[in-house]
Amino acid sequence: MARRAREFGDAMARRRTVRDFSDRPVPREVVEAAIRTAGTAPSGAHKQPWHFVLVGDVELKRRIREAAEGEERENYERRMPPEWLDDLEPLGTDWHKPFLTVCPWLVVVFAELWSPGPDGGRKKHYYVQESVGIAVGLLLASLHVSGLATLTHTPSPMRFLHRLLGRPNHERAFMLVAVGYPAEGCRVPDLCRKPLEEILTVHAARSGQNPLDGGGDWPNSSGPQGIG
């Protein structure tokens, strides 16, 4: 169990956000499988408040890029405060977003704020942001273990995605995930991830409180069985 957790962790630690993509084609079924995985995410009251739009159409990608670069140009040149620009400096990003047309696929993730009821009313959704965030996490993990690179992109405000993709009123664009292979010679920022000690606080059972500590509380000597 510990080995599998470690191996999965090692594989996930190799995921990096890529911003320089190749135009090498990616089979649609791989991205669809990842979206199916994203759809297994837990969600508040099992409302599954997500919708994924998969875009490979060249003209649509061009229009998305044009609109995203328009918003991002405003962001970088006018809307972002100096502190935000300073935080972005090490990533080397600017308003140019060539990956939006170079990548073979864009997955645009929409959050369903509510769902239309049969009587025309609104059926409530719960913890929408949390649920869709987990779904995107599974999407990224699946694409990564499939051997693909991703970029989580948030060209805010993202209303243009709603308009360009003709989505209904109860959906809001949540995230744009560019998917593909890294470009030849692609480089990523030299980032450090916080060590476990910094992100974890443990209040473990004290000796004797937890049968797994070997306290002998289990009726038979072998204790609980793992699930293999």
Contact flags string 149-168 toward ligand FMN, x per CB under 6 A: --xxxx--------------
91 in contact with ligand FMN (CB under 6 A): yes
Contact flags string 174-193 toward ligand FMN, x per CB under 6 A: --------------x--x--
16 in contact with ligand FMN (CB under 6 A): yes
Nearest CB to ligand FMN, comparing residues 65 and 153: 153
Residue whose C-beta lies closest to ligand FMN: 17
144 in contact with ligand FMN (CB under 6 A): no
Strands 122-124 and 149-153 turn out to be unpaired
Q: Do 177 and 106 touch, CB atoms closer than 8 A?
A: yes
- DSSP per residue over 26-42, as a string? --HHHHHHHHHHHTTS-
Identify which range of 33-41, 49-57, 74-82, 145-153 contacts ligand FMN by CB under 6 A.
Answer: 145-153
Nearest CB to ligand FMN, comparing residues 19 and 51: 19
Helix extents (H) in 81-195: 82-88, 99-102, 128-145, 159-164
* Rounded Cα–Cα distance for residues 56 and 104 (Å): 6
Cα dist. 88→65, 74, 102, 197 in Å?
A: 20, 15, 22, 26
* Rounded Cα–Cα distance for residues 128 and 108 (Å): 16
User: Residues interacting with ligand FMN, by CB under 6 A?
Assistant: 16-17, 19, 91, 93, 151-154, 188, 191
